[in-house]
Amino acid sequence: MGLPPVDRSTLWPFEDGEPGEFYYQRYAHPTGVAAERELGELEGGEALLFSSGSGATTALVLALLKPGDTIAVAEGCYYGTPTLFRELGRWGLRHVEFDQTGPPPDGVELLWLEAPSNPFLTMPDFEAAAAHPAPVVVDATAATPVHLRALDRGADLVLHSATKYLSGHSDVLLGAVVTRDPERAQRLREFRNRSGIVAAPDPAWLLLRGLKTLDLRVRRQSETAAELARRLESHPNVAIVRYPGFGGLLSFDVAGDARKVERSTRLITNATSLGGVESTMETRRRWEGDRVPENLLRLSVGLEDVDELWTDLKQALPD
Ligand code: PLP
């Protein structure tokens, strides 16, 4: 019962003069392998851990693409993803944005979808993407495998910021890529080993523990978020509610000063990030600029009581 203790060794003795399954931590360690096995089962593929979601994105594009290749990236996805692609533009990587609810553009080498997108909460057209010749990556951070097994919907690679729902307690930074293609998995593993964009044993252990309650947490967060989305829809000072019908993440526009609203909640913490057991809310303008409406608030619903959350939101919203 319980989880095995964390093995923090950076080296393991050779056996009869030969390296065994584990020999140097950068290549593999027992806790990481155990966590990868669990996540792989949930997604239905082979999982590889990275030091963060952004680290996983960096490794994926550097390992699988080459200078001059173009990524078609879902507009309105996590703003850090196109920002990172722009940074990698100095090494010859190109990207274009497209509306993921429709067909992707021709002449690109990789499709980058997000399900649902953060913070606009659109869902990709999986069929249109699967019909495109380029390999498909789905960032399924906000859906989690509880709601979406993207490999079953035609994705070639699934990416997670495991910092969010998979770990679930806002105390670990971690990323993952899952694929059914052994060649891509091998290429990613080699790149990870060389680049050192690796997950340490302690974060992997926290992921293992988080995964034990993933289903319960995400189902409860979904129920509460769906109910809050319904109540927000009928609030006179809420203009637009964006909610895909599942998951714990939603966003809405208020009529009035969103910066004042985010400072006025008591139960809901005014903080960034998402997917934790405690609810967090923030305006996104400060990070994303003109790309998001000024009065957009993103709410990540935690495990608190739905009526207590609604009472908190109501007192913070303008009457
Ligand atoms: N993908 C999505 C959808 C995210 O929300 C985030 C982080 O906010 C990331 C990727 C990046 O993950 P990390 O913060 O673990 O690097």
Mapped to the 3 state alphabet, what secondary structure does 144-167 carry? HHHHCCHHHHCCCEEEEECCCCCC
Q: pLDDT tens for residues 255-280?
A: 999 999 999 999 999 999 999 999 99
- What is the predicted pLDDT for the residue at 78? 98
What secondary structure letter does DSSP report for 137? E
Q: What is the C-alpha separation between 104 and 223, in angstroms, rounded? A: 32
> What are the backbone dihedrals phi and psi of residue 47, each rounded to the nearest 5 degrees, phi first?
-100, 145
Q: What is the distance in A from the centroid of ligand 1 to the CA of 13?
A: 36
Closest residue by CA, ligand 1 atom 2: 78
- What is the predicted pLDDT for the residue at 99? 98
* pTM of full prediction above 0.95: yes
- Regarding the beta carbon of 173 and ligand 1, being less than 6 Å apart is answered yes
Q: What is the distance in A from the centroid of ligand 1 to the CA of 301?
A: 17
- What is the predicted pLDDT for the residue at 152? 98
Q: What is the distance in A from the centroid of ligand 1 to the CA of 235?
A: 30
Segments of the chain with pLDDT less than 70: none
- What is the predicted pLDDT for the residue at 2? 87
Q: What is the C-alpha separation between 241 and 223, in angstroms, rounded? A: 16
- What is the predicted pLDDT for the residue at 281? 98
- Regarding the beta carbon of 163 and ligand 1, being less than 6 Å apart is answered yes
Closest residue by CA, ligand 1 atom 7: 161
- What is the predicted pLDDT for the residue at 13? 98
Q: What is the distance in A from the centroid of ligand 1 to the CA of 226?
A: 22
| Segment (H or E) for 70 | strand 70-74
Closest listed residue to residue 11, CA positions, set 30, 28, 26, 24: 24
Ligand 1 pocket test, candidate residues 118, 172, 272, most atoms within 8 A of CB: 118
- What is the predicted pLDDT for the residue at 319? 82
103 three-class SS: coil
- What is the predicted pLDDT for the residue at 21? 97
